[in-house]
Amino acid sequence: MMMTQETVLAPAAENGPPPGWPAMSVSEVERLLCAPGAPFEMDVATIRGIPTRVWKNALPSLAHLARHARTHGDLEFLQYEGERISFESWFRAVAALAGELTLLGVTKGDRVAIAMRNLPEWPVAFFAATVLGAIAVPLNAWWTGDELAYGLSDSGAKLLICDPERLDLIGPHLTEAPALAHILVARHPGEPGFGARPLEAIIGTTADWASLPDTDLPPADIAPDDPATILYTSGTTGRPKGALGTHRNLLTNILSSAYAAARAVLRKGEALPAPQRKTMLTVIPLFHATACSATLMGVLFAGHRIILMHKWDVVKAMQLIERERVNATGGVPTIAWQLLEHPDREKYDLSSLETIGYGGAPSAPELVRQIRDTFGAQPGNGWGMTETSATVTTHSGEDYLNRPTSAGPAVAVADLEIRAEDGVTVLPRGSIGELWARGPMIVAGYWNKPEATAETFVDGWVRTGDLAKIDEEGFLFILDRAKDIIIRGGENIYSTEVENVLYDHPAVMDAALVGIPHRTLGEEPAAVVHLAPGTTATEEELRDWVRARLAAFKVPVRIIFCDETLPRNAQGKILKRELKALFA
């Protein structure tokens, strides 16, 4: 696939900066926050033979994080469907389950799979495995039985912790996972089959966790760069690959997120506030790197509270935001749009919302402004991938309002480069090429796939497959996936650019651009859109809208309207291969 090396300088300001902003440059913020003795002081560690900048004050293992989280005591950690669990109760359940896993023969390096929707038992299972030095394998709860069996087989999982729905899917495929010796199932309404044991026989229900024995975690010798997770990539083509994450990868996110928040405050010229406990409505699946790494780790460290939903429902979400005074929510842009566009929104008090963040999919510049104008909340996004354990760049506040099509600058311990097609030549700022990333958040490689690992991970860098550019201040702009770029008669069309124009149309709520075959041009652009409730638009109207704003060769030759929001995988990425079938 050809990648252009044209130079396209990013605009200095897309909406015009507010007066006196920014109070500090990105580099000035870094010098202040990362100075010797400062909370975000950096050090150099040798990771897989490569000297790498790291957060000096990062915790060394997930066992250390679990013990730290216990210091929050009886503060509420998690709520689910009326069940409320404190940090102390959660820790006791982790310790009890970890002790049982030890009795079942789980040792350092063994794989423990987790296959369940967002339930209170999920973070218990995750930490019960990782505090032993075992490797947690969070499987996609949206997968079919065959896909789940693949994850069990590929990882060589010794033990599975699941919910009844996943047990029913996996049960018929157990012969495909010969290494699997034990199954624990949570919340089963009857006698579980397939040789599974009720998890409640070990830790009881959530109401019992506070009464579990007051014990410490089993002893384990864990180093920062020991493996902790296998998170499977999106798998939009072929079988997914398991990204082998480490304790350092996960724990880096705690300080990376805090650093980004502090940077946004200093850029506004304000003093750093004292730490405050927040309530988060978490609707992203915990098997996704964003929820597991970027959200859960920070919640446990800072003592925040998370609310889990059985399934996303915008009305129920607004009820929870009002009743529980939720400060932050988000996930993918669709969730933000549904909160904004729902006809009953004004019936609920959503004034507690301070942040609505999202990632995993392109978002319209108009969404950034509407979140600020409608809720008085700060929009937030960033860039990362499974291979980077989530956070590499973050974007919020005035920076995001001023550059609504950017993914923000990298956190201080990360490096970004734009490289030419040869994978070696580093292109100047403003050029378009493949994005490469480096830092302590980069995973160790792909599980049992040395050739794929060697191709993707090079000397501490990960080659992302994203086409991007970086402006003079270091702000990242993702233009397209290299494999999704549309080349029409030799002209490159970056789908994000066209999608952003479609999003700017007042009737468009969701949009995706795909390439459809053409006998002479090779490909032509076509779009699938979902309109906001109560609005109308015609195909010709939207084509004229794009034509008035972009070059003629970028105008979609066809536009199909979808009654529902567009199909996405668990990471929030639109499944463009499915959309292409609509044009067959």
- The per-residue pLDDT for range 387-429, each reduced to its tens digit, is 999 899 999 988 999 999 899 999 999 999 999 999 999 999 9
Cβ contact 101:134 at 8 Å: yes
Q: Return the H-helix or E-strand segment holding 123.
A: helix 121-130
- The per-residue pLDDT for range 439-448, each reduced to its tens digit, is 999 999 999 9
DSSP 159-193: EEEE-HHHHHHHGGGGGG-TT--EEEESS-SS---
Topology of domain 492-583, per CATH?
GMP Synthetase; Chain A, domain 3 (3.30.300)
What's the maximum distance between 2 C-alpha atoms anywhere in the chain?
72
Between strands 508-518 and 491-493, the pairing is: unpaired
- The per-residue pLDDT for range 164-182, each reduced to its tens digit, is 999 999 999 999 999 999 9
Answer yes or no: is pLDDT of 266 > 80: yes
- The per-residue pLDDT for range 125-143, each reduced to its tens digit, is 999 999 999 999 999 898 8
Which CATH class, in words, describes the domain spanning 72-243?
A: alpha beta
Answer yes or no: is pLDDT of 361 > 60: no
Q: What are phi and psi of 500, to 5 degrees?
A: -65, -40
Q: How far is CA 534 from CA 6, 291, 364, 375, 562, in A?
A: 42, 33, 19, 21, 14
pTM: 0.87
pLDDT band at 189 (very low <50, low <70, confident <90, very high): very high
Answer yes or no: is pLDDT of 571 > 70: no
Mean pLDDT, the chain, rounded, equals 92
Answer yes or no: is pLDDT of 359 > 80: no
DSSP 50-68: EEEEEETT--S-HHHHHHH
- The per-residue pLDDT for range 206-247, each reduced to its tens digit, is 999 999 999 999 999 999 999 999 999 864 446 789 999 999
Which stretch of 67-71, 232-236, 336-340, 399-403 has the lowest confidence by average pLDDT?
232-236
DSSP 284-332: S-TTSHIIIIIIIHHHHHHT-EEEE-SS--HHHHHHHHHHHT--EEEES
| Residue extents of the structural domains in the chain | 72-243, 492-583
- In the chain, % of residues over pLDDT 90: 79
Nearest to 121 by CA among 208, 187, 73, 170: 187
Compute CA 485 distance to the chain's CA centroid, rounded to the nearest angstrom.
Answer: 23
pLDDT at 197: 98
DSSP 374: I
